[in-house]
A = this chain, B = another copy of it.
Amino acid sequence: MTDEAQHRAQMARKKALQDARIAQATQEKGLIIVHTGPGKGKTTAALGMVFRALGHGMRIGIVQFTKGARESGEAAFARELAGRVDFFALGEGFTWETQDRERDRAAAERAWAKACALMEDPHYDLVVLDELNIVLRDDTLPLEPVMEKLRQKRPALHVVITGRSARPELVELADLVTEMKLVKHPFRSGIKAQRGIEF
């Protein structure tokens, strides 16, 4: 085959794949899912959805709103999956560690801009907005633009939002809400955070 024929064949394959993805997407409704509550497992359950979605050939975007560049297990493994999972840790550490509200607001706005870009891009089937609830709870990010964006999301897109203290408006909008309740916690009995389990 000539270079041009190869290129045309490649474009045709790409188009066919795209058509198949669009056809499939319209058969299913994308959900807005909220993981909240004081227990462990909110971010973790979102990562589990990513694990499953990868098995179905989906493409995933993850934005972390409060976690910064510190290396985590999810960041390391997501990097291995670049192109299938795109991962952005855009926080500045937990907000209670800082008194600098302006810096927090700027970080939250940057993370939200990235979240909007991912939600608009038809490349992504599932977008995880990790700890978005936290920046909404303490008004680091204003609620209304977030609600508006979620109401107008692409129909096939799944969005998973994590963090304790989900705003009632968001719970109302969501299709699926799970509240993680703490029953027993190792930090309470003096065991340190475990690599691969807690982070």
Contacts and interface: CB of A to CB of B under 8 A. Distances in A.
Interface of A: 28-29, 31, 33-37, 39-41, 43-56, 58, 72-78, 80, 125-126, 158, 171, 174-186, 189, 191-192, 194-197, 199
Contact of A28 (B39, B55, B195): B195
Given A54-B77, A55-B72, A56-B73, A49 B178 contact: no
A47 B125 CA distance: 19
Given A52-B47, A73-B53, A31 B186 contact: yes
Contacts of A185: 176
Copies of the protein in its oligomer = 2
A184 B177 contact: yes
Contact of A29 (B43, B176, B191): B191
Contacts of A78: 55
A45 B182 CA distance: 14
A187 to B, nearest CB: 9
B175 A183 contact: no
A110 to B, nearest CB: 24
A41 B179 CA distance: 10
A141 B78 CA distance: 37
A7 B158 CA distance: 49
A158 B197 contact: yes
Given A51-B51, A52-B72, A181 B184 contact: no
Contacts of A171: 183-184
Contact of A48 (B28, B43, B54): B43
Nearest to A85: B51
A102 to B, nearest CB: 32
14 contacts: A31-B191, A34-B183, A43-B48, A44-B45, A48-B48, A52-B196, A54-B80, A55-B75, A55-B77, A175-B186, A176-B185, A176-B186, A177-B184, A178-B183
Contacts of A40: 45, 176, 178
